[in-house]
Amino acid sequence: MPTKKNIPTSTLKRSTLTGMTAVRIGAKHVGYKARSLITKKKDEAASKLRHEEEIGELIFSVLTKLRGTALKVSQILSMEADILPASIREKLKEACYQVPPINRALVRKQFIQEFEKTPNELFQKFDNQAFAAASIGQVHRATTHEGDSVAVKVQYPGISASIESDLRIIETLFSALSASSDLLPQKSVLTITMSEMQDRLREEVDYHVEADNIKWFKDNVNIPGVRIPGVIKELSSKRILTLEMFEGLHLSEWLATHPSQQQRNQAGQKLFDYFWYCALELRRINADLHPGNFLVLNDGNLGALDFGCVRSLGQEFISTFVKLIPALVDTFHNGGRSETLLKVYQSLKVISETVSLEQFEHEIQDSIEPFGRWLCEAYASEEFDFRKKQPCPGRPSEDNRALVKFLNGFHQEQLCFDRAHLGLMNLLTDIGAVVKTDWMKFHPSN
């Protein structure tokens, strides 16, 4: 278990650690390029995979040491199929719920600062060994004085004060990686991700906000088989959150038990229905759909856990977005005309109103088709087998100037929604579920 001295707290120490890692990444990439010159063609794929796994190890190592904002970057990148190769994303998925915990002295210090009491005074029993640890906090088992089993999330010290500086540090790390390797896209893609994270993290570091979010979703989500824990308000504060204990396995751990196809289908259907119910009926989503935020409970239900990153969806955005998937299906699966698709993209503010149908069909459509097909393939029929889901091809490259010159912007909700929807697709693919994909049944107009 790390001790206090193992956790770099000053900006200088954190910057130095990041810089040293960037140098090591660059050196590894130079070595890989040199070896690739003499690597036999039949061994190229295996060599590339080993290189990506080594890079993933380095990135994960530095992010787990930095914790906080840095680990949040790791979580986001693990879900972004168009940012990192699959081998690196698999390694970074560990940041979703497998992180070395901080020691008991730091935990005790947080309780004294928040409650002026130690954990042993607040609880009948408190396990000093965390059973789960993630980006901005770790979770301990405890028993209240009333005898109830609870999960206690303790925020790491200094998280809220380090948001801006950590984002600059991590952006430097990935900019260096992008410049010295072919494993990352343009810097602007990472900059957009960092900007979004900055806005959401300011909310996530306040557990009062998360407690309110959990209560709201618990009161409003009405999907059979989906459970949301209750908040123990008197044992919660800005940096400590006490919740009803759920017993089960994180999705990745559950999959390692080799569940039957029927069990996979049931879990996948609950997850699919939960997402679209929240998006269309409630117009409010959890933007962090990754394996660490869901449990398959011992009774077979699905437990939704983390509500730190929540995004409201405006009526204008939803009303327009519900037209996008049918337009994509009609254009790319049914061979229909693309006039409706153009109008939807213009309503979403992605493409300028000045773009003509002829321009769209001849200068834009080919660029968006691979991602458009990937986005809508699960919705082209009443049921979809996610074992057959193709890897995300990534969004159109900014190098395609013919497309970029027509891009106009987007609704402010678009980034969070896209991230959450991509997370849903990744989770269902990991589960390998066969799902009934009638998402529009949750739209209030139906």
Q: What CATH number does residue 234 fall under?
A: 3.30.200.20
Mean pLDDT for the stretch of residues 159-171: 69
What was the pLDDT predicted at 328? 95
Q: What pLDDT shows up at residue 288?
A: 82
Q: Are 309 and 167 contained in the same domain?
A: no
Q: What value does the mean pLDDT take over residues 131-148?
A: 88
- Quote the pLDDT of residue 419: 82
Q: Quick one: 168 and 267 in the same domain? A: no
Q: Regarding beta strands 383-385 and 284-286, do their DSSP bridges make them parallel or antiparallel, or are they unpaired?
A: unpaired
> How far is Cα 83 from Cα 16, in angstroms, rounded to an integer?
25
Residues 6+ apart with CB under 8 A from 67: 7, 99, 135, 136, 156, 159
pLDDT for residue 98 is more than 70: no
Q: Out of 245, 274, 307, pick the residue that ends a domain.
A: 245
Given pLDDT bands bounded at 50, 70 and 90, which one contains residue 324? very high
Q: 16 and 79: one domain? A: yes
Same-domain check for residues 144 and 35: no
pLDDT category at 156 given cuts 50, 70, 90 is confident
176 in the same domain as 112: no
Q: What is the pLDDT of residue 137?
A: 84
Instruction: Calculate the dihedral angle through the C-alpha atoms of 169, 20, 53, 178, rounding to the nearest 10 degrees.
Output: 50
* Distance (Å, whole) CA 426 – CA 431: 9
Same domain, 88 and 184: yes
The pLDDT tens digits for 24-34 are 666 665 566 66
Per-residue pLDDT averaged across 374-391, rounded?
Answer: 93
Same domain, 218 and 342: no
The total domain count for the chain is: 3
Give the domain range for residue 113: 103-155+206-245
Q: Are 234 and 381 part of one and the same domain?
A: no
If asked whether residues 223 and 335 sit together in one domain, one would say no
Shared domain for 221 and 263, answered yes or no, is no
CA distance 25 to 175: 12
Looking at per-residue pLDDT, the higher value among 196 and 274 belongs to 274
Whole-number percent of the chain with pLDDT over 70: 65
Same domain, 306 and 399: yes
Show which of 245, 276, 302 is a domain's final residue.
245
- Whether the per-residue pLDDT at 181 is higher than 60: the answer is no
Mean per-residue pLDDT over the chain, rounded: 80
Whether 238 and 315 map to the same domain: the answer is: no
**Confidence class of residue 370 from pLDDT cuts 50, 70 and 90?**
confident
